[in-house]
Structure 1
Amino acid sequence: MFKDLSPNLKSSITRSITQTFEQYMSNIEWSEEKFSIDDFIANWREYITTKALWYSKIPEDMKQDPAFHENLAQRINEVIARVLGEPPSDDQIASIQMMQEQLNTHYEYHCKAEAVFVETLLKKYLGL
């Protein structure tokens, strides 16, 4: 069912998953202990029903179809895996390393999105 949607609609759904996941992870400070797939899904559901313009373009019968929800769950898993698998850039690594040396901190980060969070946090500590 997901594959039957227009490319623009699929892209919007993917973007909403990515943005909501990165925001959720930032809100829990990228803590594995605080992560809950149920909480993330609740955040995503709230986002799509209150802010996502694409949600109203999906027919109601499709929204009710269990196969569509299975397709969405699969897409969510793919997007999360992609976000977690994207390595930090060399510029991010260098920037974070420099700030950590200044602040004498040792934050770990494992993907590009988490590096954005750490970089933002360190800049805040440095007053930048």
Structure 2
Amino acid sequence: MFKKLSPNVKSSITRSITQTFEQYMSDIDWDEDKYDIETYMAYWREYITTKALWYTNIPEDMKSNPKFHEDLAQRINENIVRILNEPPSEEQIAAIQMMQEALDTHYEYDCKAEAVYVETLLKNHINAQ
């Protein structure tokens, strides 16, 4: 069913998944113990119904079709796996390491998105000093 969507809508859905997942993880400080799929899905539903322009372009009969929701769940899972497996860039690693040495902190990060979170956190600490 997902294959029937235009490439632009599919791309918008992927961006929405990425944005909501990264925002949710940031809101829980990338703490895996706080992660809850049901809470994330509530986040996702809120986002697509209030902010995602692509959602209004999907016909109601498609939105109510269980196959569409299965395809969407699969797309969400694939994107979350991709986000979590994308390694931080060398530039991110170097910048974070320098800031951690300056601040005497030891934040850990496992993927590029989490590195963005840590980098922002460290920059905020530096700017607050």
| TM-score in same-fold range (> 0.5) | yes
In the aligned structure 2, how far is the partner of 1:15 from the partner of 1:121? 23
Structure 2 counterpart of 1:37: 37
Structure 2 counterpart of 1:9: 9
TM-score by length of 2: 0.98
2:111 maps to amino acid: C
* 1:59 aligned onto 2:28: no
- Secondary structure in 2 matching 1:15: helix
- Secondary structure in 2 matching 1:127: helix
* 1:88 aligned onto 2:88: yes
Q: CA deviation at 1:113?
A: 0.3
**Residues 63-84 of structure 1, C-alpha deviations (whole Å, 9 max, x = no match):** 0000000000000000000000
2:26 maps to amino acid: S
TM-score by length of 1: 0.98
Q: CA deviation at 1:53?
A: 0.5
Q: CA deviation at 1:2?
A: 0.6
Q: How many residues align?
A: 128
Which runs of 5 or more structure 2 residues have no equivalent in the other structure? none
2:79 maps to amino acid: V
Structure 2 counterpart of 1:71: 71
Q: CA deviation at 1:55?
A: 0.4
Q: CA deviation at 1:3?
A: 1.2
- Secondary structure in 2 matching 1:96: helix
2:81 maps to amino acid: A
In the aligned structure 1, how far is the partner of 2:53 from the partner of 2:122? 34
